[in-house]
Amino acid sequence: MSPSSSSEKLSPPEIRAIAGLASIYGLRMLGMFIILPVFAFYAEHLPGGDNYTLVGIALGAYGLTQAILQVPFGWLSDRFGRKPVIYGGLLLFALGSFVAAAATDIYWVIAGRVIQGAGAISAAVMALAADLTREEHRTKAMAAIGMTIGTTFALSLVIAPSLNRMIGVPGIFFMTGVLVLLAMIVVSRVVPNPTDRRFHSDTEASAGGIFNVLRNPELLRLDFGVFALHAVLMALWLVVPLSLRQAGLAADHHWQIYFPALVISMLLIIPVIIYSEKKAKLKQVFVISVAVLLVSQILLAYTFDSIWGTAGALLVFFTAFNLLEATLPSLISKIAPVGAKGTAIGVYSSVQFLGTFIGASAGGYLYQHYGSTALFAFCGALLMLWLIFAVTMKAPAAVRTRMYHVQVMDTGTAHGLSRQLAALPGVHEALVLASEGVAYLKVDMRGFDEQGVAQLLGGEA
C-alpha cells in the first residue's frame, strides 16, 4: 500500500476534465445569475410583474428545485452514470431557459426558472470530477470548479446590463439555453469518460449519513449561515437595482458600481484569508465578517437614494460576502467528520439553494406589502441570528484533509489501519475505506509528519 505522490503534476486528462467540468458548471451558474441585475426592470413590463412577490419567486424559483433535486441527482449518477445524468440536467436547464425566453407573463417565467433549477447537475459534476482525478489532486479540482461560481457571478453583474440593452432579458434566456446545449458537446468531446465509477465520500452525499450530519450542531450553524447569506443576497437584488435607478443612475451603467465593488472586495479579502489560515484565526475572521455583513444592511437601508452611498455600502457588502463565501466551505471541511465530508457539503449546498428561494420570495413579499425598510429588516434579522450562532460556535481545529490511495484490502484490515493512522502524531482523525481504496486523514496544519504516514502505508509520500 502506498500513498499517491503529492509532488506529481496534473496529467493532461485531469486538466481536460477539470477545465471542461469547470466550464460546464460555470456556464450553468451564469444562466442562474445573469438576470439578477436586470430582472426587476424587465418584470415591470410583464403581466403580473407589478407584483413583487411574484418577481421574487421568479428570481429564486430555481433554488427550490435545485435544493430538492441536487443530492438525488448525485445518487442517480452513481446508478446510471455521470454523463447521462449531466446530459439530462443540461437538457432540463436549456428547456427552462427557452420557456422563460418565450414567457408572456411572470407565471411562465417562474415555470422556466423552476425547470432550470430541476437540471440539478452540481453533485453529478463533482462526482465525475472525483472519478477523473487522483486523490492528491482532488482538492485542486474541486477548488477550480468551485471558483467558477464567484467568477460567473462577477461576470454576470458586468455583462448583464449591456446584454439587456442589446437583446433584452428574453434574449439572455435564449442565449443561455443555446450555450447550455453547446455545453453538451464539451461533456462529450472534452471531458474524458471515467474508467472507474464509484462512490467518493469526500465529494458525494451518503443517504445513510445525512441524519448524522443534521444532528451535528456545529455543522447546522454553518448550514444556517449559508442559508442566511444567500437569502440576503437574493433579497437585495429586488431593491438595489431600483435604488440605483431611483438615485439617477441609468440601468445600463449599473455595472460601473458593481464591478469596482467586486474587484476591490476581492483584493481586500485575499490577505485576510491568508492571515486567518496561517494564524488559525478562522473563527475570529468569520465572526467579524458576519458583523460587517450586518453593518452593510444598515448602510444600504440608509443610503437607498444615493449613488455613492449605495456604492460604498455595496463595497462593504461584497467584501464580507466574498470572504464568507470563501470561508464557509473551509469551515465545513474542518468540522465535518472525515468520512462524511461529501454528505456535509451536499446538505450545505442544498440549504444554500433553499436560502436563495426563501430570500427572493420573502424579500419580494415584504417589498410588495411593506417597502424596502421591511426587506432590510428581514435581512438584518437573519444576519443578527447568524451572528449569535457564529459567536457561540466552537473554534475549528487548525486542520486540513489529506487523501491517500491504498491497495485492495478487506474491511477488518481497513479498520486496523485506520486505528494505526489515527495514533500517529499530528493526525486528528483517520478513516480507511476499503470500498473506495482511499485513506482519509484530518491532520494538523502544523507539525504533521507525512513521512510517518508514508512509512505506515508502506511507501513514500
List, for residues 390-439, the tens digit of each pLDDT value: 999 998 888 888 888 787 788 888 888 888 888 888 888 888 888 778 88
Q: How crowded is residue 177: how many other Cβ atoms within 10 Å of its Cβ?
A: 22
- Could you say which DSSP state residue 306 is in? -
pLDDT of residue 445: 66
- Could you say which DSSP state residue 424 is in? S
Give the distance from CA 452 to its chain's centroid.
Answer: 35
* Burial class (CB within 10 angstroms; exposed 0-12, middle 13-18, buried 19+) of 189: exposed
Q: Residues of 289-313 as b/e, b for ≥16 C-beta within 10 angstroms?
A: bbbbbbbbbebbbebbebbebbbbb
Q: Which three cell numbers stand for residue 373?
A: 425598510
pLDDT of residue 407: 79
Give the residue carrying C-alpha cell 472507474: 196
pLDDT of residue 3: 42
| Tens digits of residue pLDDT in 155-167 | 888 889 889 999 9
Domains (ranges, CATH) in the chain? 12-391 (1.20.1250.20), 399-457 (3.30.70.100)
**Sequence-distant (≥ 6) Cβ neighbours of residue 308 within 8 angstroms:** none
Average confidence (pLDDT) over 182-206:
84
Phi, psi of 227 (to 5 degrees): -60, -50
Candidates 144, 147, 31, 149; CA nearest to 89 is: 31
Q: At residue 461, does pLDDT exceed 50?
A: no
Q: Which three cell numbers stand for residue 303?
A: 443610503
Higher-pLDDT residue of 247 and 134 is: 247
- Could you say which DSSP state residue 249 is in? -
| Tens digits of residue pLDDT in 246-284 | 999 988 889 899 989 999 998 999 999 888 878 878 899
Average confidence (pLDDT) over 126-149:
80
Q: Which of 126-130, 139-143, 241-245, 454-458 has the lowest mean pLDDT?
A: 454-458
Length of the chain: 461
* Burial class (CB within 10 angstroms; exposed 0-12, middle 13-18, buried 19+) of 426: middle
Sheet with 438-444, side-by-side order of all strands: 399-405, 438-444, 427-433
pLDDT of residue 8: 66
Average confidence (pLDDT) over 96-103:
96
pLDDT of residue 4: 42
Q: How crowded is residue 423: how many other Cβ atoms within 10 Å of its Cβ?
A: 10
